[in-house]
Amino acid sequence: MFDDDNLVSLAGLVPVMTLAEQTGLPDLLAEKVAIAESKIKSGAANPAPKLMTLIAGMCVGADSIDDVDSLLRPVYGHAKQGASYGHTKIAGKQILRKGLSPLAVTIGTDLAASVIAGLRLRAGKAGSGKGAGRMVAQGIATARCAGATGTILVRGDAAFGSRAVVGACRRADAQFSLVLTKNTAVQNAIEAIPEHAWTPVRYPGAVRDPDTGAWISDAEVAEIGYIAFASTTDAVTARLIVRRVKDARYPDALFPLWRYHPFFTDSGEPAADADMTHRRHAIIETVFADLIDGPLAHMPSGRFGANSAWILCAAITHNLLRAAGTLAGKQHAVARGATLGRKIVNIPARLARPQRRPILHLPSHWPWADAWLQLWCNIIGYPHPAPT
């Protein structure tokens, strides 16, 4: 019988949004967000609770405003502001795709999943590295403000091996590990590496070749000193570490045919270790997957400004779920966003009020009850310090 007036769906929003309040998010939104112009005057009033509602919706899977269409996110339709054709890589091949191009900076450690330090929406035709220097500087500052006291290493692919990014790292006293665009100078440096300098390495798990898409587990690594941007006033001397793998397209060649993957770094790690550390920059793909599975499943509006605001809310939502996962403990600290939604947030409950005290009655035999209770106790069950 449909006769219970006290059911609550998505009961995991209770601790998650309480966590948002404890971090001072509503006050920050009220302080930082102002809607200057609106066709409907009431739409500009009290933006903080409206944005909190939007973020709560994103936590449970909201991905669109009005379903105009669906991190070069493709778009479909003729009235999408900022949409244009830009280069992206799918299955190892460069293609042109119409869309909008978010630029993201993430902060990661070995102990927890990555959080988003900055997210900015650009036109689809924007170069991948446009604005990256400023974003990196802001990301490093955010990491320091969040309490990072050790060495910060900035990692990125060829689109970010630029003077702007390297300069931002140097000014902020951070190390860099960046792929350089292949050119004559880089090719000459690779050819200057003597044959005896190559060290065989075997990866603990097979990795996918970024050019061919093939899985590889054996490679050779070497390094050489290199001056990047030598013809400019911003010349930088550091290590050019090169990984080479046999070209699988020619297995029966009389002599090995190698494919080379160089990157530029001022890290102090041995070459083989630095190569492993650099390859882990692909962790950002997990963040992209979380966003695409969630609030960025669509670019939901025809207006560029609305989409820009949407992706900022998406970044806040991502980080809020990451914090909740960490407080839930164990494997949830590194779990995907979809996993957190399924195990922590998307849980039904019955709301009762004995003696006017609200109590949530949750499902019996819930497999992740211990993690949910740990989250609850860390946020609601114990006194918490004032936000700083």
What is the C-alpha to C-alpha distance for residues 261 and 263, in angstroms, rounded to an integer?
7
Sign of CA pseudo-dihedral 78, 84, 87, 88: negative
**More confident call, 312 vs 83:** 312
What is the C-alpha to C-alpha distance for residues 4 and 2, in angstroms, rounded to an integer?
6
pLDDT the model gives residue 69: 41
pLDDT the model gives residue 208: 65
Cβ contacts of residue 59 below 8 Å, gap of 6+? 13, 16, 17, 317, 320, 321, 341, 345
Burial category of 198 from C-beta neighbours within 10 Å (exposed 0-12, middle 13-18, buried 19 and up): middle
Q: What angle do CA 145, 151, 157 make, to 5 degrees?
A: 95
Q: What angle do CA 66, 299, 115 make, to 5 degrees?
A: 125
Query: Which is nearest to 104 in space by CA: 365, 283, 337, 303?
Result: 283
Mean pLDDT across the chain, nearest whole number? 84
Averaged pLDDT, 331-335: 90
**Is-contact 348 14, C-beta < 8 A?**
no
Give the pLDDT confidence of 176-191 residue by residue, as tens digits. Answer: 999 988 889 999 999 9
Tokens for 178, please give them: 């960046």
pLDDT surpassing 50 at residue 3: yes
pLDDT surpassing 90 at residue 142: yes
Give the pLDDT confidence of 347-382 residue by residue, as tens digits. Answer: 988 888 888 888 888 888 889 999 999 999 999 886
User: Confidence band (pLDDT; 50, 70, 90) for 64?
Assistant: confident
The values of phi and psi at residue 207, to 5°, are: -120, 155
Its pTM stands at: 0.82
pLDDT surpassing 80 at residue 2: no
**More confident call, 100 vs 346:** 346
pLDDT surpassing 50 at residue 291: yes
What are the distances in angstroms from CA 173 to CA 36, 117, 170, 237? Answer: 38, 18, 5, 15
Amino acid at 94: Q
User: Confidence band (pLDDT; 50, 70, 90) for 70?
Assistant: very low
CB-side neighbour CA atoms (13 Å) of 229: 15
Look up residue 337 and give its DSSP letter.
H
| Least confident window among 1-5, 10-14, 103-107 | 1-5
**More confident call, 280 vs 375:** 375
What is the C-alpha to C-alpha distance for residues 75 and 64, in angstroms, rounded to an integer?
13
Averaged pLDDT, 60-78: 63
Give the pLDDT confidence of 241-250 residue by residue, as tens digits. Answer: 999 887 766 6
The full set of domains in the chain, from first to last, is 9-62 (no CATH), 73-288 (3.90.350.10)
pLDDT the model gives residue 54: 92
Averaged pLDDT, 156-165: 90
